[in-house]
């Protein structure tokens, strides 16, 4: 299959390119390295040192004798996107080319507008270029479980059948996202659902949980093939951040009470799930939604897992709660479905502790890089709009919460 | 009350400015005349000749000895919007400054992207400027009943209480919009709901039905105070278009079977409803949704009303169905609630036939203007993406439907 990955230079994009090309697919990719720039804007960098895209492509050729087509450019430029769809003629397009950070979108009006328009415009360009040049191709769009928020009822996969005032219908499940970024993903989901309806496109919309991990099989043995691993407040996600904190002896920092529950999955499971969706495409005109995660955890229990694993490895760290810079429920019901991918054969590969052990092992070697940017670990982007560093819960600091 | 109207030069904006200033409110307005340009792009113009904004302001002064502050500029420019909010210090902001056309948004990728980003960005600018400078002001946002689509169950006002798999919660009612434009309004509604939650803003989101009519009391007697009345495929709405067709003897043209049902309300009722919402603002942090229309009609029955009234006035016109350029259900359940505004005292002023009689009377004098642009009456923007003029149902024309 010819598969085009928008956002091939990112945390998920690069491992996915390796994985799919390893399975014999012909892979192309687009990027303009914005993720590297955003993380720099947050005064940070990847904990694992990563190669440039040209170096990655050389390494792939030398190590595995495989090639990937690459285009550098802006997904919000229609002519650029259209040209690639016409030239590469993909059977599937994986859209990972969006800005993926809630805190980044909450910085100010300019970031809020930019994240939403960047994410919506790039999706539009793919939709229209596919409609006009590859109408039978499959659009695999990365959304997030965060689109749903935390309603007081089970979360189905995209749609639900309900009865209201004596009438039954199958409707999109209501979305209650928690940041401008998460809403940008809702806007994109809505647009894609409509594109399938009116243009007959086929799409899989992935409501993905929080991904963690440093390794996939394909990158083993060659540091030039590693993917990035972020730990800053905006682009680092819970488990990845905790592991980075652990290796430098920084407290592990759940926000608020830390009983927020989320779905999680290891990086290699994410690759497996994307592949299952790509190799089992939807029908012509079908818009399907997959909730993509392995298991639901609360944040404190994950911090404790990282603490325990780290302790086994001789790292002594404590768990200390930070004032929550976000506005979110810290105790809530959470029961999302995740059956569709299991039905396609998804086999969860690892438990959290095993994965965390590998991660901490990988990260210890790069302790200095984390230490050098450790200020990026503590958030200062508050959902209220104020920009001020949050303190530990109960500490005498200037409160940043309203 | 100091009320700022974004989009004051539009079909609703100008009559609302007249109405609110007539009630003693201090009115300010923003516009950059995009509506005039969009209609020109659709090769059309207003059936009623309208004055420029400076002429309108002079007329208001001469006729009623009232003044309105006016700023010409772009609502997507944050500094511009912020400057006005700081200077004018509104108690309420009415956001009518969006591109309001489904067909216009369906023309191509550039129009789709532009309509969504223009509408989302302008709303963002108002949200942030209000958050930072007028957090207690009331944001009244114009949405559309089209955000809901036509689900197989009654449509509540924004939210509904449901039970699903043994759990109850109050959730946003799912939206199933029918064009890129309508989705832009959903995106805006979602963003405003979230802004109220995190920034404590207060907002009324108006899901408005289709407005028709040429008159409000305040514009009577001075042609310089008239509002525009569009009849082209993109900016003309059902009853307004039918009346314009009637006065030049053009067939009245429901799309497809014409049994699409929509909520409708006369222009003067729209003014009354906006005023009720403004003079009865929501609480701090409250996001409320009003379904704003008088009654549900199907399109064919409205065409027949226009035909009958026109016949009384000596105009002989037939109803002829056009191939439907849209993708929409032509037979469907439709039972939207509309109780909130009635609870605030909304008193529907006129029946459709009375209003249509006035409209046709007003429009006959400008028959030549409609005749001159009559090509704009028949749609060529198809939901499939093709641009080709649709034919009458059953006629031997090249079909434009997929």
Average pLDDT rounded to a whole number, residues A169-193? 98
List, for residues B158-204, the tens digit of each pLDDT value.
999 999 999 999 999 999 999 999 999 999 999 999 999 999 999 99
Residue A254 structure tokens: 């759940």
Q: Determine the Cα–Cα distance for residues A161 and B163; give it in Å rounded to an integer.
A: 11
> Which of these, B102, B136, B398, lies nearest to B262 by C-alpha position?
B102
Burial profile A385-394: b = 16 or more Cβ within 10 angstroms, e = fewer? beeebbeebe
What angle in degrees, to the nearest 10, is found between the helix axes of A13-22 and A267-279?
60
Which residue among A132, A169, A180 places its CB closest to the CB of B152?
Answer: A169
Q: Is the pLDDT of residue A166 over 70?
A: yes
Which residue among B110, B154, B190 places its CB closest to the CB of A183?
Answer: B190
Task: Give the chain B residue nearest A181 (alpha carbons).
Answer: B191
Contacts of A116 in chain B (CB under 8 A): 120, 124, 187, 191
Sheet holding B261-266, edge to edge: B210-212, B261-266, B295-298
Contacts of A197 in chain B (CB under 8 A): 327
Contacts of A186 in chain B (CB under 8 A): 190
Residue B359: pLDDT band with limits 50, 70, 90 = very high
C-alpha separations of B49 from B153, B210, B229, B358, B367 in Å: 42, 22, 9, 17, 11
**Domain covering B2-220+264-295+337-349 in this structure, CATH number:** 3.40.50.720
pTM exceeds 0.90 for this model: yes
Residue A400: pLDDT band with limits 50, 70, 90 = very low
Which B-chain residues 125-164 have CB contacts (< 8 A) with chain A?
Answer: 125, 127-128, 131-132, 151-154, 160, 162, 164
Task: Give the chain B residue nearest A77 (alpha carbons).
Answer: B110
Contacts of A333 in chain B (CB under 8 A): 167
Residue A334 structure tokens: 């959470």
User: Which DSSP letter does residue B141 get?
Assistant: E
Q: Determine the Cα–Cα distance for residues B57 and A312; give it in Å rounded to an integer.
A: 77
What SS3 class is residue A197?
helix
> Which of these, B179, B182, B102, lies nearest to B143 by C-alpha position?
B182
Which residue among A117, A162, A167 places its CB closest to the CB of B117?
Answer: A117
Interface residue B339 vs chain A (CB under 8 A):
no
Please state the domain extents for chain A: 2-377
List, for residues A129-147, the tens digit of each pLDDT value.
999 999 999 999 999 999 9
Which residue among B109, B110, B164 places its CB closest to the CB of A162?
Answer: B164
Residue with structure tokens 């000596």? B314
Q: What pLDDT score was predicted for residue A349?
A: 82
**What mean pLDDT, rounded, does chain A reach?**
96
| Contact between chains at B333 and A167 (C-beta distance less than 8 A) | yes
Which A-chain residues 376-395 have CB contacts (< 8 A) with chain B?
Answer: 383-385
Task: Give the chain A residue nearest B169 (alpha carbons).
Answer: A152
List of long-range contacts for B364-371, beta carbons under 8 Å, 24+ apart: B364/B247, B364/B313, B366/B47, B366/B48, B366/B49, B366/B247, B367/B247, B367/B248, B369/B45, B369/B46, B369/B47, B369/B48, B369/B49, B370/B47, B370/B231, B370/B244, B370/B247, B370/B248, B371/B248
Residue B108 structure tokens: 């191509």
Q: Is the pLDDT of residue B401 over 50?
A: no
Residue with structure tokens 């314009």? B244
A208 within 8 A of A269, measured Cβ to Cβ: no
Which A-chain residues 59-98 have CB contacts (< 8 A) with chain B?
Answer: 78
Strand bridging mode A295-298 / A287-292: unpaired
Q: Is the pLDDT of residue B83 over 70?
A: yes
Q: Determine the Cα–Cα distance for residues B139 and B128; give it in Å rounded to an integer.
A: 11
Average pLDDT rounded to a whole number, residues A175-193? 98
What SS3 class is residue A108?
coil
Average pLDDT rounded to a whole number, residues B51-56? 98
The residue annotated as part of the active site, out of B11, B76, B104, B144, is B144
List, for residues A269-323, the tens digit of each pLDDT value.
999 999 999 999 999 999 999 999 999 999 999 999 999 999 999 999 999 999 9
What angle in degrees, to the nearest 10, is found between the helix axes of A109-133 and B109-133?
170
Interface residue B174 vs chain A (CB under 8 A):
yes
Strand bridging mode A261-266 / A295-298: antiparallel
- Report percent pLDDT > 90 for chain B: 97
Q: What pLDDT score was predicted for residue A396?
A: 60
Q: Is the pLDDT of residue B350 over 80?
A: no
The residue annotated as part of the active site, out of A181, A287, A297, A346, is A181
C-alpha separations of A28 from A2, A8, A11, A22, A177 in Å: 8, 8, 16, 13, 32
List, for residues B121-141, the tens digit of each pLDDT value.
999 999 999 999 999 999 999
Of B35-49, B65-79, B340-354, which range is least confident? B340-354
A27 within 8 A of A271, measured Cβ to Cβ: no
| Contact between chains at B194 and A174 (C-beta distance less than 8 A) | no
Q: Is the pLDDT of residue A402 over 60?
A: no
A156 within 8 A of A170, measured Cβ to Cβ: no
List, for residues B273-325, the tens digit of each pLDDT value.
999 999 999 999 999 999 999 999 999 999 999 999 999 999 999 999 999 99
B130 within 8 A of B136, measured Cβ to Cβ: no
Contacts of A199 in chain B (CB under 8 A): 384-385
Q: Determine the Cα–Cα distance for residues A393 and A325; give it in Å rounded to an integer.
A: 11
Q: What pLDDT score was predicted for residue B284?
A: 96
Domain A2-377: homologous superfamily in CATH: NAD(P)-binding Rossmann-like Domain (3.40.50.720)
Q: Determine the Cα–Cα distance for residues A253 and B134; give it in Å rounded to an integer.
A: 35
* Residue A204 is a catalytic residue: no
Q: Determine the Cα–Cα distance for residues A348 and A270; give it in Å rounded to an integer.
A: 10
Q: Is the pLDDT of residue B253 over 50?
A: yes
CB-count burial class (<10 Å; 0-12, 13-18, 19+) for A343: exposed
Residue A148 structure tokens: 């749903």
Residue A341: pLDDT band with limits 50, 70, 90 = very high
What SS3 class is residue A374?
helix
* Residue B216 is a catalytic residue: no
Q: Is the pLDDT of residue B391 over 80?
A: yes
Computed over its alpha carbons, how large is the radius of gyration of chain A? 20
Q: What pLDDT score was predicted for residue A401?
A: 41
Contacts of B191 in chain A (CB under 8 A): 116, 180, 183
Q: How many helices (H) and strands (E) does chain B have?
A: 13, 12
Sheet holding A202-208, edge to edge: A69-72, A26-31, A2-6, A92-95, A138-144, A202-208, A287-292
Q: Determine the Cα–Cα distance for residues A147 and A259; give it in Å rounded to an integer.
A: 19
- Report percent pLDDT > 70 for chain B: 98
| Contact between chains at B117 and A120 (C-beta distance less than 8 A) | yes
| ipTM of the complex as predicted | 0.97
List, for residues A102-127, the tens digit of each pLDDT value.
999 999 999 999 999 999 999 999 99
Best to test chain A binding among B75, B132, B187 (most A CBs inside 10 Å): B187
Residue B396: pLDDT band with limits 50, 70, 90 = low
Quickly count: other Cβ atoms within 10 Å of residue B399's Cβ.
10
Angle at A339 between CA A336 and CA A341, to 5 degrees: 120
Of A216-225, A258-267, B206-215, which range is least confident? A216-225
Q: Is the pLDDT of residue A397 over 60?
A: no
Q: What pLDDT score was predicted for residue B397?
A: 52
List, for residues A249-266, the tens digit of each pLDDT value.
999 999 999 999 999 999
List of long-range contacts for A128-133, beta carbons under 8 Å, 24+ apart: A128/A78, A128/A82, A128/B108, A128/B109, A128/B112, A129/A78, A129/A81, A129/A82, A129/A84, A129/A85, A129/A86, A130/A85, A130/A93, A130/A201, A131/A195, A131/A199, A131/A201, A131/B385, A132/A82, A132/B385, A133/A82, A133/A85, A133/A86, A133/A89
């Amino acid at each position: 299959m010819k598969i085009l990955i928008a956002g091939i230079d990112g945390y998920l994009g690069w491992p996915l390119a390796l994985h799919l090309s390893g399975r014999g697919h012909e892979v192309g990719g687009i990027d303009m390295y914005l993720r590297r720039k955003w993380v720099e804007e947050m005064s940070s960098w990847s904990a694992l040192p990563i190669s440039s895209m040209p170096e990655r492509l050389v390494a792939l050729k030398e190590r595995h004798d495989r090639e990937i087509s690459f285009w550098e450019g802006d997904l919000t430029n229609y002519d650029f996107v259209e040209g690639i769809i016409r030239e590469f003629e993909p059977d599937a397009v994986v859209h990972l080319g969006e800005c993926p950070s809630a805190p980044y979108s909450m910085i100010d009006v300019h970031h809020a507008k930019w994240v939403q328009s960047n994410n919506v415009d790039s999706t539009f360009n793919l939709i229209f270029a596919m409609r006009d040049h590859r109408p039978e191709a499959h659009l695999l769009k990365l959304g997030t479980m965060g689109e749903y928020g935390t309603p007081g009822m089970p979360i189905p996969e995209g749609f639900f059948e309900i009865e209201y005032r004596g009438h039954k219908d199958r409707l999109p499940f209501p979305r209650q996202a928690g940041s401008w970024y998460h809403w940008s993903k809702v806007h994109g989901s809505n647009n894609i659902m409509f594109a399938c309806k009116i243009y007959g496109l086929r799409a899989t919309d992935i409501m993905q949980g929080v991904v963690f991990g440093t390794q996939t099989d394909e990158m083993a043995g060659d540091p030039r093939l590693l993917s990035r691993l972020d730990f800053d407040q905006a682009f680092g996600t819970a488990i990845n951040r905790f592991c980075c904190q652990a290796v430098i002896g920084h407290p592990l920092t759940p926000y608020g009470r830390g009983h927020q529950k989320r779905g999680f999955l290891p990086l290699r499971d994410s690759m497996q799930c994307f592949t299952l969706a790509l190799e089992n495409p939807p029908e012509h005109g079908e818009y399907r939604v997959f909730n993509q995660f392995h298991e639901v955890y609360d944040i404190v229990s994950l911090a404790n897992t990282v603490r325990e694993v780290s302790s086994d490895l001789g790292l002594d760290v404590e768990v200390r709660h930070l004032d929550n810079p976000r506005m979110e429920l810290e105790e809530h019901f959470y029961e999302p479905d995740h059956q569709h991918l299991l039905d396609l054969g998804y086999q969860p590969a690892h438990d959290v502790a095993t994965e965390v052990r590998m991660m901490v092992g990988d990260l210890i070697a790069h302790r200095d890089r984390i230490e050098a940017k450790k200020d990026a670990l503590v958030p200062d982007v508050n959902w209220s709009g104020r920009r001020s560093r949050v303190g530990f819960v109960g500490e005498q600091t200037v409160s940043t919460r309203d």
